[in-house]
Amino acid sequence: MSKEGKKIGQAVNRIDGLLKVTGAAQYTTDFAVNNIAYGYLFKSTIGAGRIVEIETGAAEKSAGVVAVITHKNAPKLKSATSVRGGGLLQDDKVEYFGQNIGVIVAESFEQARFAARLIKVNYEKAEARVDFEKHAKEAVKPKAQDRQDTVRGDPATAFQTAEFKVDEVYETPIEHHQPMAPHATTAVWEAAEKLTLYNESQVVNGVQGSLAAAFGLKPESVRVITPHIGGGFGSKGGAWGHVVLTALAAQVVKRPVKLALTRQMMFNSVGLRQRNRQHLRLAATKDGKLTSIEHETTTHSAINAEFLEPCGDVSKIMYDAPNAKVSYRVAPMNIIIPTFQRAPGKSTGSFALESAIDELAYALKVDPIEFRIKNEPAKDPSNGKPWSSRSLVECLKKGAEVFGWNKRKMEPKQNRQGSYLIGYGVGCGTYPSRQRDTSAIIKLTRTGDDVRASVELAASDLGTGTNTILAQTAADGLGLPINKIGIKIGDSSLPPAAGSVGSVGAASFANAVNDACDKITEELIAKSGKQFFVRPTAAQMMTSEKLTEFQTRIDAKPLPEADKYSAHVFNANFAEVWVNEATGMVRVPRFVTAVGAGRILNPKTSDSQMIGGVIWGIGMALTEESLVDPRWGNFVTRSFADYHIPSNLDVGAIETVFVNEEDNFVNRMGIKGIGEVGIAGVAGAVANAIFNATGKRVRDLPVTPDKLL
């Protein structure tokens, strides 16, 4: 430990904060590359069919155009199985509106964009499957083994014989990732078999592997550079078609190519959160004990590929019920394949479950917090494993205390101020806690008494503070001040690491760095041949042994006994809403979220994470919705003018409470990721508060004014 004291657990400012606020942080489009050309996608204007003819002559003659690449002249790829979204110009098929059907390369972005308008396409149209209401009736069992029906006990009989029950359908619409920085890629071929990509990637090594497979290269021949990511929320978790097309275009024109998606292109280029229709059937005894939970999700996926977010996961583990069934049905549709979006399945599934729990508590005339606590499971109901730790009850109690839950009245429409009806709601959320294999190198150098460290791994920083928590971890592990720690991440040439996805980043990266600190300290002690009564730090050993440089590498893995436990982070969310009785407009002036997330590395960045999740959850509850035109299959919501995300005036005071939770089983450092749990349970809390305010139960999101009038 340095003389500054322990850094883990302290609210340390972001070490890369100055770079970001001064504009010095480099994102994909900021990298200067010599002889750059600019790519621009052009996309299909039908929902299904094939391209009969594509006229590119006028575009090819347009000023500044270097090449027009379509399925007619595009090089053939070796493999595209790990590339998302299709549209790789390998055939004439069109499977959704907005599919990539070509890329123009020009001397400037403006020239490429103009030339795209000159292209004319003749299609042979087919009937597009784009009407969810119609095709949901044809939904079938999914192919994925982890989405098959799971049954515990006899839920059908338990429901039929129950004294109190809820049997309702809850709907969540298509939503889109819209990170601050839209997707962009710059591709540079340094030789026929050596490719460098500047690409904002949540999983650096994953994109490396996908591009290597696509072009038949060895993974080490592809380098992915991504020091900063302007948000991603799951959309930057893998390689989409435009990434491959940028590299393909650079290969064709034999010079570097930069391709940036416009905000409008984002809606049909990088996936989405699919629409989910969730049928919940809950049963309980008159004294408030759940006897059965049934959760069926009907959704859609791409016409020739399958992805289903696991909405039923929350119902498997959240509450104790002897009988349960979770099932999925999916309809193939001519819409781009859905993908992971912040807390996939857990945010949407928690809205349905927590709404149904609130409905059942109201039918029982039981306080919804009391109802949840009464059905707290002693172990994981889905597999019988003990919890590594579970603090949901503490979250409910502490959150209620901070929020002032005792002011809530059970009957709706009891609190009023002027033209506003005031309501209070609660909703809980969860997300798995996992560590993934991650390697790291630590390099120590000394000049005189000045010892410094470089920490290197192919991790990524979504903007959540990865650089900072790794510097804190290394500072404590090496006995150095934070300003003596250099962090190198976001480069596939560094030791391979887990991705910033699935809330595994902090646990995987920090544990790897911590293990590397332990290893390098032990190696230095062994090298000295000395024995110590008090274990010295690595920094002290560098000085005492007069070493100028020393390094080590660790290949960190999860604890072997971790699989014996069920590891999850849990939260309880409390919303206060004001609903204008005349207009139906909803305000959320106050929100409290209480979370049990094991060891908190940095309260400042953790608080920021939770606040961001709550804001998105409020948007999910009240504003966000992507609408498909059933005539064509295109999104009519394709900018921030019509796809509404919460702005400053939509968000009130948000308070985060971290309950004390020590977890000795989830990983060595006891870390639980919180990147996703922040949104889980939020929409349910808001919807439940709206019912408490108005007496109107809205079961399909978003809760817009027309649904309350």
User: What pLDDT score does 4 carry?
Assistant: 64
Domain span at 487: 17-26+435-557
Q: Provide, rounded to the nearest whole percent, the portion of the chain with pLDDT above 90.
A: 98
Residues 50 and 114 grouped into a single domain: yes
For 193-218, write each residue's pLDDT tens digit. Answer: 999 999 999 999 999 999 999 999 99
CA dihedral sign, ordered 303, 304, 305, 308:
positive
> What gap in Å lies between CA 635 and CA 98, rounded to an integer?
9
Does the pLDDT at position 610 exceed 60?
yes
In a domain, 574, yes or no: yes
Does the pLDDT at position 2 exceed 80?
no
> What is the rounded average pLDDT of the residues 415-420?
97
> Taking the mean position of all CA atoms in its chain, how far away is CA 220?
27
User: What pLDDT score does 83 carry?
Assistant: 96
For 578-587, write each residue's pLDDT tens digit. Answer: 999 999 999 9
Closest CA to 587 of 423, 378, 462, 377: 423
Residues 509 and 550 grouped into a single domain: yes
In a domain, 255, yes or no: yes
Closest CA to 316 of 385, 381, 386, 392: 381
Residues 658 and 513 grouped into a single domain: no
Residues 480 and 491 grouped into a single domain: yes
Among 294, 354, 576, 676, the one annotated catalytic: 676
Residues 428 and 439 grouped into a single domain: no
In a domain, 276, yes or no: no
In a domain, 10, yes or no: no
355's CB contacts (< 8 A; 6+ apart) are 168, 170, 280, 427, 684, 687, 688, 697, 699
In this structure, what are the phi and psi dihedrals at residue 438, rounded to the nearest 5 degrees? Answer: -150, 135
CB 379 within 8 A of CB 387: yes
Query: What is the pTM (predicted TM-score) of this model?
Result: 0.97
| CA distances in angstroms from 18 to 8, 25, 506, 626, listed in the order given | 21, 9, 22, 36
Does the pLDDT at position 3 exceed 70?
no
In a domain, 297, yes or no: no
With tokens 């005036």, the residue in question is 649
> What is the rounded average pLDDT of the residues 434-441?
98
> Long-range CB contacts (< 8 A, 24+ apart) of 131-139?
131/630, 132/275, 132/300, 132/331, 132/333, 132/628, 135/300, 135/331, 135/332, 135/333, 136/277, 136/298, 136/300, 136/331, 138/331, 139/298, 139/299, 139/300, 139/329, 139/330, 139/331
Number of domains observed in the structure of the chain: 3
User: What pLDDT score does 5 carry?
Assistant: 76
Residues 518 and 425 grouped into a single domain: no
In a domain, 86, yes or no: yes
Which of 557, 589, 604 lies at the terminal end of a domain, its last residue? Answer: 557
Residues 429 and 473 grouped into a single domain: no
CA dihedral sign, ordered 253, 254, 255, 258:
positive
Residue 245: burial class (beta carbons within 10 Å; 0-12, 13-18, 19+): buried
In a domain, 282, yes or no: no
For the chain, helix, strand, coil in percent to 5 are 30, 25, 45
Does the pLDDT at position 484 exceed 70?
yes
Residues 588 and 672 grouped into a single domain: yes
Q: Which two tokens stand for residue 352?
A: 């349905």
In a domain, 308, yes or no: no
Does the pLDDT at position 1 exceed 80?
no
> What is the rounded average pLDDT of the residues 573-600?
98
Residues 544 and 633 grouped into a single domain: no
Q: Is 370 a catalytic residue?
A: no
User: What pLDDT score does 192 carry?
Assistant: 84
Strands (E), 261-407: 276-284, 290-302, 323-333, 387-389
For 624-652, write each residue's pLDDT tens digit. Answer: 999 999 999 999 999 999 999 999 989 99
Residues 588 and 483 grouped into a single domain: no
Does the pLDDT at position 18 exceed 80?
yes
Which residues on neighbouring strands pair with residue 549, listed in sequence order? 445
Q: Which two tokens stand for residue 434?
A: 């996992």
Which of 557, 588, 607 lies at the terminal end of a domain, its last residue? Answer: 557
| Average pLDDT for the chain | 97
CATH code, domain with 418: 3.30.365.10
Identify the helix (H) or strand (E) that includes residue 420.
strand 420-432
Does the pLDDT at position 447 exceed 70?
yes
Residues 468 and 550 grouped into a single domain: yes
Closest CA to 673 of 599, 614, 566: 599
> What is the rounded average pLDDT of the residues 281-296?
98
> What gap in Å lies between CA 248 and CA 76, rounded to an integer?
9
Residues 689 and 640 grouped into a single domain: yes
